[in-house]
Chains A and B, each alone.
Chain A
Amino acid sequence: MTGKKQQGKRVLPGFGLTMGITVAMLSLLVLIPLASILAYSFRLSFDEFWELISRPNVRQAFLTSTGCAFLAALINCVFGLNLAWILVRYDFPGRRLMDAMIELPFALPTSVAGITLSRMYSDQGVLGQLLQKIGVKASYSKVGIVIAMVFIGIPFVVRALQPVLEKLPKSLEEASEMLGASRIYTFRRVILPELMPALLTGFGLALARGIGEYGSVIYISGNSEKAGTQVVSYVIMQKLNSGSVDYEGAAAIALVLLVVSFLLLFLVSVVQIAAGRRTKG
């Protein structure tokens, strides 16, 4: 297909077959449907497109979604690493049960999760009351959005880290400690670099999931344009469900959301490659 040099290297069979299957399925199931979004948004002229995208509520929604998702992904990295570490390294009663429950956010429908969380973190709920005592309003604010995004993103980080941690030989840290390195030094210089690629994968996935999230967020966010608590998915649904049924507008915002989340994932993979090089080098 391409250069002769590459063909010469192919000892293993199945290139054509797997290439065919991969490309065919990818096109049929993912690329062609997504192209429809592109097609719809191109029905707008560039000026209309720009006018729509630069509306204050749309811009604000993008800021809110990316900002909250970023924060939530960071929180998930810290606690995800923490959770994965104790699940893999320590033995304590209920460990298996804990392990099994990590996937819970996947199993609960996002709307039920959103409703449950909004209730728990409202000023009538147990956790909301606690937070209110330290002056934090959780439900119906950006804090609520972050909480919902942390909830839906946690399994991505834990499950990305677990297999890597399991493979990470303990002798590595033991050796480091025996050589007199402090625990923090060992963690920072020995363990963390090993985990970095997996951690970044988890971060990227949690981030991407958070940016596009709808069901769990809309019940806890309050959706106030003034307070800046509308997320991008909400604005898209507004376009679709309001009296005008504006497919072009919805597709245009969706397209920008696609580009933004794709760029962010790309950025994560660039960092990932750089981190990989540093470990090897």
Chain B
Amino acid sequence: MDTKQQNARRRGFIPGLLLTSGILFFFIMLVFPLGEVIYRSLKDGFAVYASAVTAKNTLSALKVTLIAMVSAVLVNTFFGLCASWLLTKFEFRGKQVLSALIDIPFSISPVIAGLAYIMTFGRMGWAAPFIDWLNELLGTDISFVFSVPGVVLATVFVTFPFVSRELIPVMQAQGSSEEEAAVMMGAKGFTVFRRVTFPHIRWALLYGVILCAARAFGEFGAVYAVSKARGKTFTLPLEIDALYMAGSAESITHAFAVSSLLVLLSIVILIVKQIVEYRGKREA
């Protein structure tokens, strides 16, 4: 579009300064640590790298990570759509409080999140008798701690407000006159959402989903509290930590190799974002 204009602007002193300082900061804070990770993951050659990322424990961790990530995205997208519809289309008492409550997981230390789940669903938690009773009733053996469902729950918790946070400002800015007009003209509830609201919030939704996904697979603290069995309930971050803490020089290299998998995963997510964004722009 206006690249020429942009290039013209670049010649100024301030843009130059901004570019320099931004790029410098970017290199020091982000590129260096990443460089270190990549350098150390390939330090012992590609064969070591390959064996690290295809180890049984790594693959199992990858699977659990993906399960947790997909569940978190689904649950939180569903929740985010409901919550933002509620908070932007209606006026009701206690709205501010509700909106603040939704943001709680943002302000919570992962340490506390893990502790909260343990104190609720753990063996000595107050919900434990209830869960036992339910298990007996249904003839199942479900556990919400130290199990894959526990990992999923902890992941959902830490990413809970990500989607709604992205949607609310956009829907607020949009107002609700278009939807009201559609309803007046006789459109049904879900149709209104699909045809009127959705096109406006598509990008915000995508941003939310991407943030949610990225945050979900990197979570360590909260998941660590409820996942202890390597090769069964470990996610990638836990597997990396386990490798790093294993003490041998070789396993530290392996830890960095598996870290690079996570970096790769985030790159995949961002490529998906770019593609969707490009398609969206072409549509518009």
Contacts and interface: CB of A to CB of B under 8 A. Distances in A.
Interface of A: 1-3, 6, 9-15, 17-19, 21-23, 25-26, 29-34, 36-37, 39-40, 79, 82-83, 85-86, 89-92, 96, 98-113, 115-117, 119-120, 126-127, 150-151, 154, 159, 163, 183, 197, 205, 208-209, 211-215, 232-233, 236-237, 240, 247, 250-251, 254, 257-258, 261-262, 264-266, 269
B15 interface: yes
Given A26-B102, A109-B237, 18 more contacts: A2-B92, A12-B90, A12-B183, A14-B89, A18-B82, A19-B86, A34-B104, A36-B120, A82-B21, A83-B25, A90-B6, A103-B266, A106-B266, A109-B262, A111-B244, A159-B207, A183-B14, A236-B115
B32 A108 contact: no
Contacts of A18: 82-83, 85-86
Contacts of A86: 18-19, 22-23
Interface stretch (B42-50, B52-60, B134-142, B215-223): B215-223
A205 B165 CA distance: 11
A266 B106 CA distance: 12
B263 A108 contact: yes
Contact of B112 (A9, A10, A257): A257
Contacts of B179: 12
Contacts of A208: 106-108
Contact of B153 (A29, A116, A212): A29
Chain B interface, DSSP helix/strand/loop, else mixed: helix
B211 to A, nearest CB: 6
B100 interface: yes
On chain B, which size bracket covers the interface? 35 or more
B183 A13 contact: yes
A99 B111 CA distance: 30
Contact of B18 (A9, A82, A119): A82
Contacts of B263: 104, 107-108
Interface of B: 3, 6-7, 9-10, 14-15, 18-19, 21-23, 25-26, 28-34, 36-37, 75, 78-79, 82-83, 85-86, 89-93, 98, 100-113, 115-117, 119-121, 125-127, 153, 156-157, 160, 169, 176, 179-180, 183-184, 188-189, 192-193, 203-204, 207, 210-211, 214-215, 217-218, 220-221, 236-238, 240-241, 244, 255-256, 259, 262-263, 265-267, 269-271, 274
Contacts of B92: 1-2, 6, 15, 19
A108 B19 CA distance: 26
Contacts of A264: 107
15 contacts: A12-B176, A12-B183, A12-B189, A18-B83, A33-B113, A33-B117, A36-B119, A85-B18, A99-B270, A107-B265, A108-B33, A111-B240, A212-B112, A215-B221, A262-B107
A247 B184 contact: no
